[in-house]
Structure 1
């Protein structure tokens, strides 16, 4: 059976559709997209290439698949998205292609369920038979093993690995590797964990400026001082650093309690 394409859908002449593929109303299939036999593309979906999709997948509605990576370093180089067989992508799921300096390919295996508003970022590698619940998010370069469950609103930091059969609880934010079979649960709200040294370096801050900011951080968060005593110490440190003066001014101008 040939592909069934709704009259309002747009399928680029550079796309390849297998036997029995169905494309719903107002969907767009771009060039350099290959879609395997029996796959269903629901209404208002956008699939951009280069993207390779296996057989018997379901894209329910409003999915954005194979778009450019959300990475400022991306320069338009050729990168890909590769999706296996029998996956289900619910409403508003987004899956981005890879980046040139991140391996170039985002992959999703077989028999996965990605529920509404799930996001899979560039260069991620997702295994088989996983369930990602609503609004679960993978940042770039995340590796997910087989049979992993991400509960609703779970967020995985870039470059983390989630081992096979792991379970990530609702709303949990993961910023380290999770071994196979392990459960992870939300544990309170975020707390300060040091300064953004790498980001400062990328923005041209030299070692002396960063060292001054680290001293200010230790005075505010590590010393155990009260906020008033920490503010007094910052005032001393501010004499030698415009950055510490800016930090102190920020604290003094605040209307909400300082996160400590």
Structure 2
């Protein structure tokens, strides 16, 4: 299943039913799991750990050294989970001594020309649309959708089940379950469509909406909003997840709802 015009380093560990197309290069210290397909002109560099049934399309570069001047050649990895698809010309850099690994979860779709920098941690079932760019040390939860041309600043966290609209500049943390849009990036509602697709009930979605009305719509500062949420909103896993996320933010969270002036047009 390995084309004769492909180069595979003798120390690479390739499962027996992996298919590798011509003109691809597999470096040493690479592991590739069963059922994976790697297209032509792909480069898999040292430290790659690729799971089962992964698909990597032509011209992608996986596990290149970080684009970070602090990197001094330390032994680090890039870990890609099972059933993940990586489309054309994607670049994923391996970790630095900070976390020692860049991690992509299971069942993700990473579309063409996306860049994922060193020490990022991406959850399961994420979709990154074309030309998404992640700087280093970013943490992304499960079921996150980043629409095309989204750029994320280093050390940002993006909560599970959130949706970020195309062309967004993400400079602050995005809590779970929300839709984020506009410039500067702001809360514009909850990701009700995504949650319905994943089995959340209307009552659960309304419960999350009640939390974010307090946090983002009513004009409270963050500490006051959290106090009200803890007092007035019934305990739930979603409530506790949101509270914990906001309290642990390092960069601060994105802005609340911004009402546009009438002379700016209808939205």
TM exceeding 0.5: yes
Residue pair 1:69, 1:96 contacting (<8 A) in 2 also:
yes
Residue pair 1:171, 1:186 contacting (<8 A) in 2 also:
no
Identify the match of residue 170 of structure 1 among 131, 150, 166: 166
Aligned to 1:185: 181
Aligned to 1:153: 149
Alignment of 1:79 with 2:76, yes or no, is yes
Could you tell me how far apart the structure 2 residues matched to 1:160 and 1:188 are? 15
Identify the match of residue 101 of structure 2 among 101, 105, 118: 105
Any gaps of 5 or more consecutive residues in structure 1? 190-260
Residue pair 2:123, 2:140 contacting (<8 A) in 1 also:
yes
Could you tell me how far apart the structure 1 residues matched to 2:144 and 2:103 are? 15
Give the superposed CA RMSD. 1.1
Question: Following TM superposition, by how much is the alpha carbon of 1:48 offset from its aligned partner in structure 2, in angstroms?
Answer: 0.6
Question: Following TM superposition, by how much is the alpha carbon of 1:188 offset from its aligned partner in structure 2, in angstroms?
Answer: 6.7
Identify the match of residue 28 of structure 2 among 24, 27, 31: 31
Following superposition, which runs of at least 4 residues in structure 1 exceed 3 angstroms of deviation?
A: none
Residue pair 2:158, 2:173 contacting (<8 A) in 1 also:
yes
Aligned to 1:129: 125
SS of 1:5's equivalent in the other structure is coil
Identify the match of residue 63 of structure 1 among 60, 65, 86: 60
Flag the structure with larger Rg. 1
Could you tell me how far apart the structure 1 residues matched to 2:84 and 2:170 are? 24
Question: Following TM superposition, by how much is the alpha carbon of 1:134 offset from its aligned partner in structure 2, in angstroms?
Answer: 0.1
Question: Following TM superposition, by how much is the alpha carbon of 1:17 offset from its aligned partner in structure 2, in angstroms?
Answer: 0.5
SS of 1:65's equivalent in the other structure is strand
Alignment of 1:115 with 2:147, yes or no, is no
CA deviation string 1:238-259 (max 9, x = no partner): xxxxxxxxxxxxxxxxxxxxxx
Aligned to 1:243: none
Residue pair 1:85, 1:111 contacting (<8 A) in 2 also:
yes
Could you tell me how far apart the structure 1 residues matched to 2:155 and 2:66 are? 15
CA deviation string 1:158-186 (max 9, x = no partner): 00000001111100000111000111113
Residue pair 1:170, 1:186 contacting (<8 A) in 2 also:
no
How many pairs were matched up? 185
